[in-house]
A and B are shown apart, each in its own frame.
Chain A
Amino acid sequence: MAAKAAPPQVRSLTCPNCGGAIELRGMAHTLNAVCVQCLSIIDTKSETLQIVQKFKAKERIQPLIPLGTRGKLHGDPYEVIGFQVRTITVDGTDYSWHEYLLFNPYKGFRYLSFYSGHWNDIKPLKGLPVITESGGRKAVNWLNTTYKHFQNATARTTYVMGEFPYQVRVGDEAAVDDYIAPPYMLSSETIPGEVTWSLGEYKTGADIWKAFNLPGSPPPAVGAYANEPSPHTGSAAKWFSIAVALWTLTFVLLVATALFSSNEKIFSTLYTYSENTPGEHSFVTPIFEVKGRPSNVEIELGTNLHQNWAYFNMALINEQTGQAWDFGREVSYYSGSDWSEGSASDTVRVPSVPAGRYYLRIEPEMDDHPTDFYTTGPRNVTYSVTIRRDVPTYWPFVIAFLLIPVPAIIAVIRSWAFEHVRWQESDYATTSGDSGDDDE
């Protein structure tokens, strides 16, 4: 014959100090409850509702998730029953975070922590992590994952609300060690006689707002949090695989270009120009045929210029349609014993020239009255004109090869920057700009 378990009877109690009503949600688990009217902590197990502490607070802090709110985490409903503000002091500055105690009568207790828009979903750990080392630093191992030590601090309870299944006092101190493997964080809290371990998982404000169906929007996250997953790690990997794919594609196109460009020589003649020749210097070449699909046409000028220059005004003209492409090239070449400038040859490429019969009109020019110190050679030039069609173009491939990894490189730099910002908040902050995260 089983004794029938009675439903929880204590639903609210009256503050023995101020007479205010204190709602109770944690059933018989609750040891301490807080009267928010008079800031008294009450021992709910004592028959006389003994006040175990009266504390002072500069301001009444309002939890972002009100006490009594129910949300859904990991498929189970949980109710907010307790709230603490805990503070660490680093170099004289106080940093405070909020801790919510969540309760489900079957699944037990969980926590949420909140700092600068960052949240963690925390549960007590069932096992005991193994203290180890990673990259010369303290670390712990838990279920085959290494968590790197991030911070040691003394956390001080500075404000409490609601109720707790353990003793809680404003001013309580615990040595807290955080170890990270984003998005997870293992934390140990040491008080005399007890070490407790918990596992937190990073959550965004949006996650929490959704889980607890809260109105409005969550406070924005500021900075990088200890176990916040880097938004760039995945993106760098993604960009690297995209880069590899694009490199492969570019290489295939490069090979195809090399294989399928005909690079056909359609005209080649040697000419001589002398400034002394009187009259019109322009002339036209014999007609040459451009065949096949529309393709580029390359005109290559090769000269014997030395310490001299010449200017070539040119036009590629379709004999049938009269369509013309005008262009000019200055060719100059100077050199000394240990220097040189310019080049005795040059090329022009005309893109997308349709098939047809073409000729080239050329008008060379040279300075009639050279004043230039170096222009000492004969005022004439012998030059070759070589015309090719469907010449393979390689420079776009070079540019593509160089540009393709840029997003991945930017992502890696951002990732380093993020890790740097993350570790600046740790015990391992650097002042030298070292990324801090050195072994992964």
Chain B
Amino acid sequence: MLKSNCPQCGAPVEFKFSQAVQTTCPYCRSIIVRHDVNLEKVAEMSDIPQDASPIQLTTEGIYNNKAFYVAGRIVYEWHGGGWNEWHLAFQDGTSGWLSDAQAEYAVSFPVKNPVALPPAHNIVRGQNVRIQNIDMTVTTVTKARYAGTEGELPFEYWDKTELTFVDLRSPSSHFATIDYSEDPPLLFHGEMVDFDSLKLRNLRQFEGW
């Protein structure tokens, strides 16, 4: 764990997850990027849009018998609503992502050196794409807006605006997302999950529920 101070406001800032590269100052909301032990303020966070996700930073859970805690998130918005990509910090130092779109949940992991993915302008809904040896079908092509980050992320992710996301599914609930914000695009692969299967703790409480 790295403990330091916010280069903007001097408040204490910590990187709990050893692989974390970026975090947000909980006090002044500066986005702070870590260069070894030196911290740099790279941007100021705008207000994260209000959401109703039951997941929050510090939520803990289990996926595939591996314990994780929620270290950070990226928030996206599109004309059909918004969704969160929660950064899961696993005990073994690896990172995963729990996407929560209107309480439909998927867990995915970054795929290093994926097969060549079709370019963004050349991908349409219904198209079949073979990913990680699984035949998948493009279910949505979403033009989204990056709406902020919170907490610790395993990479720098703050200078985004408009993004194209392609979601793919397979008959066996496999799930993949292609994030076209970088070149080559980022591929995340995983599965749709049941809320109960993640055995989540420290969830957000909703009044009356």
Contact = CB atoms under 8 A, between A and B. Distances in A.
Contacts, number: 95
Given A8-B52, A166-B81, A108 B141 contact: no
A193 interface: yes
Contacts of B126: 195
Interface residues of A, number: 36
Nearest to B206: A105
Given A27-B206, A77-B209, A127-B170, A105 B103 contact: yes
B125 A195 contact: yes
Contacts of B141: 193
Interface string B154-195: 000000000000000111111000000000000000001001
Nearest to B14: A1
B26 A126 contact: no
A124 interface: yes
Contacts of A29: 52, 81, 102-103
B192 A126 contact: yes
B81 A129 contact: no
B137 interface: yes
B54 A126 contact: no
A127 B102 contact: no
Contacts of B206: 7-8, 27, 105
Contact of A5 (B26, B56, B125, B195): B56
B50 interface: yes
A7 B53 CA distance: 11
A105 B103 CA distance: 7
Contacts of B140: 193-194
Interface string A320-339: 00000000000000000000
Contacts of B119: none
A29 B26 CA distance: 25
Nearest to A28: B52
Is chain A's binding surface mostly helix, strand, loop or mixed? loop
Nearest to A10: B50
Nearest to B207: A7
Is chain B's binding surface mostly helix, strand, loop or mixed? loop
A126 B49 CA distance: 26
A7 B209 CA distance: 11
Given A7-B206, A31-B81, A1 B50 contact: no
A28 B101 CA distance: 12
B168 to A, nearest CB: 9
A130 interface: yes
Contacts of B209: 77, 104-106
A1 B80 contact: no
A108 B171 contact: no
A77 to B, nearest CB: 7
Interface string A1-13: 1111111111000
Interface of B: 14, 26, 49-52, 54, 56-58, 79-81, 102-104, 125-126, 137, 139-141, 150-151, 169-174, 192, 195, 203-207, 209
14 contacts: A2-B56, A2-B151, A3-B56, A5-B204, A7-B207, A8-B207, A28-B51, A31-B80, A104-B103, A109-B103, A127-B169, A127-B192, A128-B170, A193-B140
The 3 closest A-B pairs by CB, nearest first: A108-B103, A27-B52, A126-B192
